[in-house]
Each structure stands twice: as structure tokens, then as C-alpha cells.
Amino acid sequence: MLEQEAVTARGIAEAMQAMSCRAVGIAAQDLAGGIDLLKEIQDKQKLNWLSMNLVDGTTNQTIFAPSVDTRIGSINITILGLTDERTDPGKDAGYTILPWQEVLPEVVANVDTRADMIILLSSYPDTINKEITRTVQGIDLILESAHGASNQPPRKVEDTLLARVGAQGKYVGMMRINWTDAGQWGQNFSEQIRAEQNRLDRITWQIGRMEKRDQEKDLKIDGRYQRLLVTKEKSVQKIKQLKETRAHATGEPCSFTNRFIGLKSSMPEDREIQAIIDQTTREVNRLNRKRIRNTNTQQHFSIDTLAGWQKCQECHPKQTAFWQTTDHSRSLKTLEQAEQQFNEDCLLCHVTLPYYDAARVKSEKLLLQLSQSLKNVGCESCHGPAAAHSRQPESIRLVNPDQKICTGCHTPDHDDNFIFADKIREVRCPRE
Ligand code: HEC
Ligand code: HEC
Ligand code: HEC
Ligand code: HEC
């Protein structure tokens, strides 16, 4: 993690504290600076980090609080934090993230008795949160951390409401919730009945078609036909049941309204927050100037340290075949299509280089020395220069790329939605 990211993290935490934020769920990207940075922020900025499944690597105890209880009016609310475990923290990180299945059901069962409402802050993507709603009962609201650029209005899945505000902090989401004694979101019975009726119509049609086509005695021993009859009966019962529940529904169900508020367009600047942002920006710029001065004096890598993907293919055909299915292998073609293949400002991130510092690449005229096999985002853009490894693979080892390598090219200017944990899955080479 760069020092500048730590500075940014502290700035964000300070701003959240100024906004009296009650709790923050820990997501994989929050861990980039290590546990100690989070602890420091918790102590200094008084930010409540929550995670029930982030545990100490040796003791298996949670490192931060799994939940926080709060009371609004007469309603007891418990807020839970859950961290996406599918990023490998590595052996030396000192912590482990347990999969949700091992932790969540028990935690929810324990708070269910004391809380009127349970809110889960989850950094898992939408598909897994949906699975959670189907497996774990008792969670009333899941607030997803942003895995996509777009806002996602609250939707009811099973008995849980799923909501998310898009990445980048362009919007805040505001929900007004009317939580009644029913303790459950209202059901839309008419919708459910209509869906079930459609299903029943389809089944009835299939049955009718089989009856027209086949002999009665054949149908008696036709497994598919018999199964359809059973399904039809179940569907009829379900509709009956839904209609009965609708007739007997009493009391006012819980309800909500939702709004996304565009920050640029509809909120005045807040002086206190603006001062925090300005201070953070100045500090980040200071660090960047220092970093640039340092890199200018760093060791020299020449283009000869690169072997090019065709060399790698000789010994790693499987990974090469995979790489050829990714857009990285076509990145020069992309520039050609935009007629920018000679533009040095564009080539920088669309080819394979020993390093990606624009000023140095230019001053050493590296872009004029590229062989055909380096004219794409190749193996060595991620694994580092590997000419030496290609000659002596057993003694000279390579690294697997971390987030820092990707964000050298996937900068906010060129990829405004880069989430390492998601994107790495699309480009990770297969194992031997
Ligand atoms: C002459 C054959 C050969 C060539 C050429 C070669 N490799 Fe390897 N590579 C190996 C072998 C063998 C291993 C496994 C080493 C071991 O496990 O002892 C390996 C391992 C690796 C690994 C796993 C990490 C490690 O070091 O164990 C990566 C990543 C890798 N190679 C990438 C590359 C890339 C990128 C290129 C092209 C620039 C390349 N290799 C060229 C033979 C080769
Ligand atoms: C040398 C610069 C560079 C590096 C390093 C780099 N990328 Fe990319 N990446 C690109 C460019 C350029 C494209 C667009 C390619 C195109 O469409 O022509 C791209 C495209 C992608 C895509 C869309 C590709 C697809 O096949 O759908 C993903 C996902 C991605 N990169 C993930 C990563 C990850 C994860 C890392 C780090 C492990 C990484 N990239 C490292 C430059 C880079
Ligand atoms: C700092 C690195 C960087 C530079 C410089 C850069 N690109 Fe890219 N470019 C990327 C990355 C990363 C992606 C993949 C973005 C994604 O997957 O969303 C990409 C994707 C693209 C794409 C395909 C996706 C799209 O947005 O349509 C085009 C076209 C493209 N770049 C053109 C250019 C041109 C033209 C220039 C020069 C003006 C340029 N790039 C300079 C990193 C860079
Ligand atoms: C966008 C980044 C990226 C690019 C480009 C890339 N790799 Fe990889 N590669 C990875 C990652 C990430 C892993 C780690 C997989 C893991 O941890 O299981 C990996 C793993 C490997 C391994 C080790 C597999 C094993 O058995 O553990 C080899 C070998 C390898 N890559 C070769 C290549 C070759 C050859 C190319 C080019 C043709 C290439 N890679 C291009 C990201 C990349």
C-alpha cells in the first residue's frame, strides 16, 4: 500500500466521523493498508469498524467488533459487518477471513432475539448477498458495498431488502423506513399470485399438449407427465394459500421510501468536510512529489530484461492460451481501431514495459524499441521482467501480481470502476 493511500484512508475516516457515521463494514479494499492502519483509524478517528468474519490468523478471534447495537426511537437495531473473503490476504497478513457460511447463521441467530431490526453491511457482491437472503433468515436489510458504478434501488429478495449506492461517492442513498410491529416488509401478494398463475398456465398447456398427442395408457407410465401433474397440483395449492394469506393479512406491514441524492447537483459544500478534503489532497500531493524524486534515482531496467509472450509460450502454453482470451492480448489492436497506435501517451499502458513511469519511459525512448511480442499488455506487465527467468526458470522466480501492479495502468482516469477482488478473477492465469 502506498503511503498516499493511507493518508487518503485517514482523511475519509475523519470525514465520516465528522458526519457522525455509526459504523463501517470492512471490505477487502479497506484491508490494503493492513490491520494496524484500521486499528489506528478506529482509535484516532473513532470510526467503528465492523466485521464478524475477519479473524486473527492464530487465535481465530474476531479483530474488530462483529456488530453494534443502536436504538432509534423505540426500535432496537443491530448493525452487522461482513467481509468478502474471496481475496487471499496472503500468509503473512496475520489474519484470515472466514467464509460467510461459517459465521453468519450463528451470529444472526444470536442477535435475532434482542433486535427488532437487523441490518447487515456486506462487502460481498450482489449474487452472494442474494444467496444469503435465501439461506439465512432474520436479516431485514442488507446494505451492499459498491461493486458497481450504478445505484441499485432497494429490492426485496425473500424477506430481506437489498440496497446499494454506486461506487465513487457521487450519490448518497436515503431510505425512510416505517418499521411497524409486523417486523417484516410488506408482501406484494398480487404480484406473487400473478407470477404463480403464469407458471400454472404454462404447466397446464404442456399437460394439454401431451394429452392430445399421446395415448392414455402411455401417459400412465410416462414419468414426465406424472411429474407435471404433481407440479400442477402444487401450484394450485400455492395460489390458494397466497389468496388466503392476503385475505387474512392484518396490521400495517413495514414499508420504506428510497431516494438517491446527487452530491454535486443538490448538496451545498460543507465547510468542515471541505477542509478535511483540502488537507488530505495537499498531503497526497506532497507524497507524490517525493515519490517522483525517488523513482528518478532508482535502478535502471532496460528493454532487454523482457522476453516477450512468445518466449513464455514455449514453456507455459496453458497460461498463454488463457491470456490470449483476455483483452490484454488485444490492447494494441484497440489503439489501432482508435487510430492512436503511435500516440506515446496511449501506448504507455497498452504495451509491455519493464516499468510504467511515463517520464522515464519517454526519456529512455523505450516505446521505440518494442519487439512485436511486447506490443500488448503481456505476461511481464503482470509478472515483471522475465528474460532471466526464461533462461533459468528454476533459480529465478517470478511474482504473482498484486493490486499495485494493476492500478499502475487501471488508474481512475482510464478505469473508473476498478475493484481488484472482482477484476483479478477475470485475468488470473489457470494453474498447471
Ligand atoms: C524454459 C522454460 C520457461 C520459460 C521460457 C518461461 N518459464 Fe516460467 N516457469 C518455468 C518453470 C519450469 C517454472 C516452475 C518453476 C518451479 O516451480 O520450480 C516456471 C514458473 C513460472 C511462474 C510461477 C512462479 C514461479 O516463479 O514459480 C510464472 C508466473 C512464470 N513462470 C511466468 C513466466 C513468464 C511470464 C515467462 C515469459 C517471459 C516465462 N515464465 C518463461 C519455465 C519457463
Ligand atoms: C500495462 C498496463 C496494464 C496492467 C499492468 C494491467 N492491465 Fe488490465 N487492462 C489494460 C488495458 C490497456 C486494458 C484494455 C484492453 C483492451 O480492451 O484493449 C485492460 C483490460 C483489463 C480487463 C478487461 C479485460 C477482459 O478480458 O475482459 C480486466 C478485467 C483487467 N484489465 C484486469 C487487470 C488486473 C486484475 C490487473 C492486475 C493483475 C491488470 N489488469 C493489469 C492495461 C493493464
Ligand atoms: C494510464 C494507463 C492508460 C493510458 C495512458 C491509456 N489507457 Fe486506454 N485503457 C487503459 C485501461 C486500464 C483500459 C481498460 C479499461 C477497462 O477495462 O474498463 C483501457 C481501455 C481502453 C480502450 C477500450 C475501452 C474503452 O474505454 O473504450 C480504448 C479504446 C483505449 N483504452 C484507448 C486509449 C487511448 C486512445 C489512449 C491515449 C489517449 C489511452 N487509451 C491511454 C489504460 C490506459
Ligand atoms: C493481468 C495480469 C496477468 C497477465 C497479463 C498474465 N498473468 Fe500469469 N498469472 C496472473 C495471476 C494473478 C496469477 C496467479 C494465479 C494464482 O494465484 O493462482 C498468474 C499465474 C501464472 C502462472 C503460475 C500458475 C501456477 O501454476 O501457479 C504462470 C506460469 C503464469 N501466470 C504465466 C503467464 C504467462 C505465460 C502469461 C502471458 C502469456 C501471463 N501469465 C500473463 C496474472 C497475469
Does 200 lie in the same domain as 321? no
Ligand 2 mean position to 395 CA, how many Å?
29
Q: Could you tell me if residue 345 is inside a domain?
A: yes
- Which protein residue has the closest C-alpha to ligand 1 atom 27? 397
Pocket (CB within 6 angstroms of ligand 4): 309, 312, 316, 319-320, 323, 328, 377-379, 381-383, 400-401, 424, 427-429, 431-432
Does 360 lie in the same domain as 346? yes
Q: Could you tell me if residue 293 is inside a domain?
A: no
Does 272 lie in the same domain as 167? yes
Does 357 lie in the same domain as 273? no
**pTM exceeding the 0.85 threshold for the entire prediction:** no
Does 132 lie in the same domain as 267? yes
pLDDT of residue 352: 96
CATH assignment at residue 273: 3.60.21.10
Does 92 lie in the same domain as 197? no
Is residue 323 within 8 Å of 379, Cβ to Cβ? yes
Lowest mean pLDDT among 99-103, 110-114, 211-215, 290-294: 290-294
The reply to whether ligand 1 has any atom less than 6 angstroms from the CB of 316 is yes
What angle do the packed helices 223-248 and 189-213 form, to 10 degrees? 160
Does 370 lie in the same domain as 241? no
Convert 132-165 to b/e letters by CB count within 10 Å (16 or more is b). bbeebeebbbbbbbbbeeebbebeeeeebbbbbb
Does 198 lie in the same domain as 177? no
- Which protein residue has the closest C-alpha to ligand 2 atom 31? 328
Q: Could you tell me if residue 321 is inside a domain?
A: yes
The reply to whether ligand 1 has any atom less than 6 angstroms from the CB of 393 is yes
Q: Is 177 exposed, middle or buried (0-12, 13-18, 19+ CB in 10 A)?
A: buried
Does 273 lie in the same domain as 131? yes
Does 130 lie in the same domain as 13? yes
Q: Could you tell me if residue 289 is inside a domain?
A: no
Ligand 1 mean position to 390 CA, how many Å?
7
Ligand 4: atom nearest CA of 377 is 5
Phi and psi of 144, rounded to 5°?
-85, 140
Does 211 lie in the same domain as 98? no
Task: Find the domain containing 131 and state its range.
Answer: 3-187+259-279
Ligand 1 mean position to 73 CA, how many Å?
62
Q: Could you tell me if residue 295 is inside a domain?
A: no
pLDDT in tens, 141-182: 999 886 666 788 888 888 899 988 876 667 788 888 888 877
Q: Could you tell me if residue 287 is inside a domain?
A: no
Q: Averaged over 249-274, what is the pLDDT?
A: 76
The total of structural domains in the chain comes to: 3
What Rg, from alpha-carbon coordinates, does the chain have? Answer: 28
Does 176 lie in the same domain as 108? yes
The reply to whether ligand 2 has any atom less than 6 angstroms from the CB of 381 is yes
pLDDT in tens, 53-97: 999 888 889 999 999 999 888 889 999 999 987 766 666 778 889
Position 306 pLDDT exceeds 60: yes
